[in-house]
Amino acid sequence: MKKLLYPLKFQPILKDKIWGGEKLNQYFNKASDSKELGESWEISTVPEDVSIVSNGDLKGETLQKLLEDYKSELLGDKNWKRFGNQFPLLIKFIDAKEDLSIQLHPNDELAKERHNSFGKTEMWYVMQADKDANLIVGFNQQIDKETYLKHLEHKSLTEILNFDKVKEGDTYFIESGRVHAIGAGVLLAEIQQTSDVTYRVYDWDRVDTNGNERELHNDIAIDAFDFNMKNDFRVDYSTQINASNKMVSCPYFTTNFIELDSELKKQNTHDSFIIYMCVDGDVEISTTISTDIISKGETLLIPAQIKDYSLKTKYGKLLEVYV
């Protein structure tokens, strides 16, 4: 007999990176002594990095096993028909102590053909940024393939990239095919399609402790660019208190911003699981089954079959995500 589904927490999957730092531990209490902790994967079914439940009767089970056992009860009917045993989203917190590589991601068609993977459309919500920290998103002028390759060859790529200074709350939508990089000093929440396919095109000429440069992917990356994109990547959104404010809605995910100072009763009408990422404060999430508290830097997944619940706090900010 299957156990009853309830709101799920997962063990963070911690990833050291050459550009990582210590903020994920300092700010969010992610258990690591590393000085190069770059990512905390909160919810994942990427092979070799599958999330494990950390609360309740299903503690110790993998998200992959839950998908196989509960199907549409967890994902929702339409998502189960669309994705089957594959969880469609990868949820992360990222700390960039140093600049990430200049990179982009393939779309669904190219990723399927080359890597048997989803493409990678994603979004960023800045949780903290040091003074003058920036994100690189898109180009600062209209660029075609020939111009791009010329700058790549002459190591002048940074001359045509768009640098944006950022602060807490700034939000960006990064479609597949758009060049981008997280800059040094930025701590953010990332919501993306389930994919770990990244094409690096420039890595600041840095080397690891053994003197080796990281692999670049310029031979295959050129086909992944969409040079016709408009610079419409900055996300404007309302900040009405105690309400779900639409941030991003695309075929891969919808994300809302919620700032709370009291109780908000919710009803899931989306035929989807709902994920809450706490980006500030603490929020109590109550269903008829259980009550959980998530604090800044924590994540909770509410299965699709749970329709009624409440969010309660004196102060908290959430990202609400569903498909």
pLDDT tens track for 28-42: 999 999 999 999 999
Catalytic residues: 200
CA dist., res. 98 & res. 87, Å (int): 30
Nearest to 178, CA basis, from 133, 124, 128, 215: 124
d(CA 293, CA 287): 12
Distance CA 6, CA 58 (A): 9
The pLDDT, as a whole number, for residue 96 is 98
Q: What confidence score (pLDDT) does residue 1 get?
A: 79
Instruction: Provide the pLDDT for residue 292.
Output: 97
Q: From CA 17, how far away is CA 168, in angstroms rounded?
A: 23
- Which residues fall within 8 angstroms of residue 154, CB to CB, at 6 or more apart? none
pLDDT of residue 209: 79
Which among 38, 82, 88, 45 is positioned nearest to 63, based on CA atoms?
A: 45
pLDDT at 256: 98
Beta bridge partners of 319: 257, 277
Q: What distance in Å separates the CA atoms of residue 287 and residue 105, rounded to the nearest whole number? A: 38
Give the residue ranges of the chain where pLDDT is below 50. Answer: none
What residue type is assigned to position 113 of the chain?
E
**Domains in the chain, ordered, with CATH?**
13-224 (2.60.120.10), 245-322 (2.60.120.10)
Other C-beta atoms closer than 10 Å to the C-beta of 233 total: 20
Q: Is 222 exposed, middle or buried (0-12, 13-18, 19+ CB in 10 A)?
A: middle
Dist. CA 117–CA 24, nearest whole Å:
28
CA angle 121, 126, 130 (to 5 degrees): 135
Cβ-based neighbours of 111, under 8 Å, separated by 6 or more: 105, 117, 118, 119, 120, 176, 195, 197
Whole-angstrom distance, CA of residue 38 vs CA of residue 97: 8
Other CB atoms within 10 Å distance of the CB of residue 219: 8
Beta bridge partners of 15: 39
User: Among 7, 243, 259, which residue's Cα sits nearest to residue 125?
Assistant: 259
- The pLDDT assigned to 159 comes to 97
Q: How does pLDDT run across 79-115, given as a tens digit for each residue?
A: 999 999 999 999 999 999 999 999 999 999 999 999 9
- Cα–Cα–Cα angle for 25, 30, 35, nearest 5°? 40
**282-315 exposure pattern, b = at least 16 Cβ within 10 A, e = fewer:** ebebbbeeeebebebbbbbbbbbebeebebbbee
Residues 96, 102 contacting (CB under 8 angstroms): no
